[in-house]
Amino acid sequence: MPLFDLTLDQLRTYTSAAVEPEDFDEFWDRTLAEARDFPLDDVYAPVENHLSVIDSFDVSFAGFGGARIKGWLHLPANRITGHPLPVVVQFAGYSGGRGLVQQDTRWAQAGYAHFIMDTRGQGYGGSLGETADPHPSAGDVAYAGLMTRGISAREDYYYRRVFVDAFRAIEAAQAHPEVDATKVILSGVSQGGGLAIAAAGLAAARLDGILCTLADVPFLQDFARAIDITPRGPYPEIAAFLGRHRDRYEPALAVLNYFDGVHLGRRATAPALFSVAQMDDVCPPSTVFAAFNAYGTGAGAAAPQAVPAKAMEVYRFNNHEGGQEHHWVKQLRYVADRLGR
């Protein structure tokens, strides 16, 4: 795939044209207040993983609407009792779930608590998932996939449920006695990166302890541009839907605007390490830079906030795979620096 988006110089200054709704904060305040009406009811059950150096727990907690959301918690087996660990809360890519118990324990191998959230209604592609979405958008029309599920109303849109689940996953991770609730790292690739950004924005005024955000080639950013220019992956689901429903472009964008990571990330206060791939035709570089350039810049009527430190790693010759193992080394160093190790 050749370079098809803006030049790197243009990307570094690119900002999204999306204008956030006037009641954006009110919508999310109400959404999270309703979610917190349900007790978190977090459960951690020890589970055999056949790994001698990692202890694993089958997690469940109450997400959106009180639905049970699954996950894994991995801890180093040689941890010292009474010394809580920083925790990496990890979100899965589109169509993927939490996977098998021993499938991904790398942050625990590095000495951290590693919490992986299952994504409701996914796990049918990529890694295995086990969490149903019991709140479908009944009676709505949608294109195959998840991107247009509930797109007729912001209250019904699929990612309203998933973003709430991500927020409550942080609460569940912080509640575990062997986790240091003051040292939470939010992490993910593609959809997972988008969820990390959304969770960072939602947590900023509501939860303490977010140490940093690790957003790799993030999805769910700058919807209007993404729909126009993306040839492959989930964004074309929206374009295909609008190609059939020709009169629904503006109403659909009005709903998507409540879920755009550009707006949510603007509210984040934690430092961040992003990555972008310049040949990415699934999450185009301009959409990633739109999120990066807005991240932490503040929003709404609140007093301007100090923009948190943020950095972008650019992988010029990569598509949506991004930096992969090379980038994880940079993440390890970045988190260690944040912790003063």
Give catalytic residues, as residue numbers.
190, 280, 320
Write the DSSP symbol of residue 50. S
3-state secondary structure of 246: coil
Contacts of 3 (CB under 8 A, 6+ apart): 278, 279, 316
Contacts of 111 (CB under 8 A, 6+ apart): 76, 85
- Alpha-carbon Rg for the chain, nearest whole angstrom, is 19
CA angle 48, 71, 333 (to 5 degrees): 95
Q: Which contacts (CB < 8 Å, 24+ apart) does range 22-28 have?
A: 24/257, 24/258, 24/263, 24/299, 24/300, 25/299, 25/300, 27/154, 27/258, 28/202, 28/258
The count of other CB atoms within 10 Å of the CB of residue 120 is 25
| Residues paired with 58 in a beta bridge | 45, 72
Contacts of 298 (CB under 8 A, 6+ apart): 266, 267, 304, 305, 307
Q: Which residue has the tokens 């090379």?
A: 326
3-state secondary structure of 135: coil
Contacts of 60 (CB under 8 A, 6+ apart): 42, 43, 68, 69, 70, 71
The answer to whether the beta carbons of residues 194 and 264 sit under 8 Å apart is no
